[in-house]
Amino acid sequence: MHISVIGTGYVGLVTGACFAEFGVNVTCMDNDAGRIERLEKGDVPFYEPGINELVTKGIKEQRLSFTTDIEKAVDKALVIFIAVGTPPRADGSADLSFVEEVGKGIARHMTGYKAIVTKSTVPVGTGERLRQVITSHQKSSIRFDIVSNPEFLREGSAIEDFMRPNRVVIGADSDQAVAIMKDLYRPLYLIETPIVVTDVPTAELIKYASNAFLATKISFINEIANLCERVGADVQMVAKGMGLDHRIGSKFLHAGPGFGGSCFPKDLAALIQSGERHGNPMQIASAASEVNEHQRKRMIEKISEAAGGLKGKTFAMLGLSFKPNTNDLRESPALAIGKQLMAEGATVRAYDPAALDEACRILPGLQACRDSYDAAEGADALILMTEWNQFRTMDFERLKGLMKKPVLLDLRNVYDSDRVAGHGFRHISVGRPARGPQVV
């Protein structure tokens, strides 16, 4: 089978490379000629563990190719995946203009049956809207099917998520389309991956509902963490006690500075806007979004309290990407907090293993540093924002000799407080009592 993936961003490229690994012939298409030229050389323009090797292998084995020609992509493929961006509009709704443009391009070049699959995260009703766009732009009436096949890829572990998913969701109203999609995912039958087959609107909503629920879990535990600080409880033990209940589970119960990234904030906003449009306010989703905004402000307060104010202070910020093992800075709590610290008159010395250069372009005031210890030099406090593995085993005696004041704001609760305090540091985390000597 030959498939095409339109869009070579994070979702599109991972999808194409992984299907090539499944033995499918894949053409990845993008309008960005410079991006395609890089990809043809095996040069991936974003950081994701394992993707470079997978792309190089697919090219070498001639199962993965790249083009800027949509006619070529449409002509070869039985299945066409749409994996273009759906950025938020000013009101929070998803901008579907890129999806619709792809639909028009497919319509103009169709010469036979196609299964047209939305991989992009799109609101309910997009499948029907796409069907109308394609039908109205066809040169002659050619049969096609619309399929919703939402992605559930976590940045930093996307390849594992594609190869060993919790589930595959297929939304379609045609037996032929379902059969084609099941055939594409046949390699997953060996590991007994659940396949959820439903209609298109239900599949579209599964993605939004899933992300909104996970975002809500994060906001919930952050509210509990803030209460823990008031009453002297330990949020990590609270989360452990909760998570051992199988009805709740331990995932996404990690207190911190709030969620970011390309999915949760955008999808939550789109779900809220969708509810408003259909006369059904999404009250829990709205509250989760509000709590997330408040949590960033609470982190600024914690930093100010720990340092005795912000103006004129120097902070070492470790981690800038919204999570480890990615260079994605979209809606990153670290960038939002760093921006506010600088606005209040502080200096921010920053280090991130993958996102430093891009972060400095976005926030020109950031002072780029070589590593954790370079960032710590002369700092009034060290702020751990992203839990990259290399930040989990720092030499506190060395840090103490470099810093102006031995203060660690551990906003990801990476470290044991007593261990850090044992090195003479003031350890301030999220939802746990502070430990160590007062140094302000």
Catalytic residue IDs: 263
C-alpha torsion sign, points 327, 332, 333, 338: positive
Element (H, E) at 274: helix 264-277
Chain-centre distance for alpha carbon 306? 30
Q: How far apart are CA 263 and CA 130, in angstroms?
A: 22
Q: How far apart are CA 120 and CA 136, in angstroms?
A: 22
Q: How many beta carbons lie within 10 A of that of residue 117, not counting itself?
A: 29
Helix/strand/coil (H, E, C) string of 309-367? CCCCCEEEEECCCCCCCCCCCCCCHHHHHHHHHHHCCCEEEEECCCCHHHHHHHCCCCE
Closest CA to 268 of 254, 251, 281, 285: 285
What is the DSSP secondary structure assignment for residue 186, as one 8-state letter?
A: G
Contact 397, 387 (CB under 8 A): no
Contact 352, 372 (CB under 8 A): no
- The torsion defined by the Cα of 81, 83, 88 and 89, in degrees rounded to 10, comes to -60
Q: How far apart are CA 282 and CA 302, in angstroms?
A: 31
Cα atoms in the Cβ-side hemisphere of radius 13 Å centred on 56: 7
Q: How far apart are CA 326 and CA 48, in angstroms?
A: 6
Contact 218, 292 (CB under 8 A): yes
Find the DSSP H helices in 158-259: 158-163, 175-184, 200-231, 235-243
Closest CA to 341 of 296, 369, 310: 310
